[in-house]
Amino acid sequence: MAAKAAFRRVLLKLSGEALMGDKAFGLDNETVGRIADELGAVHRLGVELAVVVGGGNIIRGLAASEAGIDRVAGDHMGMLGTVINSLALQDALEKRGVTTRVQTAIDIREVAEPFIRRRAIRHLEKGRVVIFAAGTGNPYFTTDSAAALRANEVGAEVLLKATKVPSIYDSDPRTNPDAKALERVTFQQVLEKDLRFMDASAISLCRENGIPIILFDLGIHGNVERAICGEQVGSVVDR
């Protein structure tokens, strides 16, 4: 029996680190290709797919600031890193026959469209994968916040956060061996317990507009499709 999507329009948040595989820095072509294969499978289900890509595999604004670079300059450098990642993902998808558009929150018309909400929605309606780059275009905001913002702007039914961890925990599993995985948690519980899998502004934005968040391990093959088909993978955050 063919898989059936549980959502019509989704926004997938990919960390920059997800694109570097086992490397310590930059892009791993094999990993980017594997992710593109998974997104292509989802696209063939008829899902309208938008993607926000981080830039942590190249540079993080906060880390650059801690190293002595002006915070605003560092954040702008991080935004440019997300553009590099978005173009790499676009190239991999296009080679697999998936039509894409990259839209940026800062103006780089030579390589990508500027973000225009109505145009982005129209691309989705026409079956194109839309990749949102450069975060929100503003310093001091994470790509998690950009993902929540774009999910709301394009009317996504769910925000998928693909990570390197299998679920949300009630405490940090790196320091607490007894940390428990949470299959389902409310927005309020996340904020009250300070479960830092996303920044608070992103969580609040999704809560205010009723967009559930599904966090899962991108390293397990097929998890993107499973999440979109409504299977239990990782953790679900909703009301």
Look at residue 2 and tell me if it is in a domain: no
17-55 confidence digits (pLDDT tens)? 999 988 888 999 999 999 999 999 999 999 999 999 999
In a domain, residue 77? The reply is yes
Residue 4 maps to a domain: no
Please enumerate in sequence order all residues whose Cβ is within 8 A of that of 159, keeping only pairs 6 or more positions apart, or say none.
10, 11, 13, 147, 148, 151, 206, 211, 212, 213, 214
Across 116-175, where does the E strand assignment appear?
129-133, 158-163, 168-169
Tell me: pLDDT of 61 over 80: no
65 part of a folded domain: yes
222: amino acid identity, one letter: G
> 82 falls in which pLDDT band (50, 70, 90)?
very high
CATH number at residue 86: 3.40.1160.10
Question: 3 in a domain, yes or no?
Answer: no
1 lies in a domain?
Answer: no
Interval 107-118 mean pLDDT: 96
Tally the domains of the chain: 1
d(CA 65, CA 67): 5
Distance from C-alpha of 187 to C-alpha of 40, rounded to nearest angstrom: 31
- The model's pTM is 0.94
pLDDT score, position 1: 47
110's tokens: 């030579």
- The band of 60, judged by pLDDT with boundaries at 50, 70 and 90, is confident
Q: How much is the pLDDT for 2?
A: 62
Give the domain extent around 60.
9-238
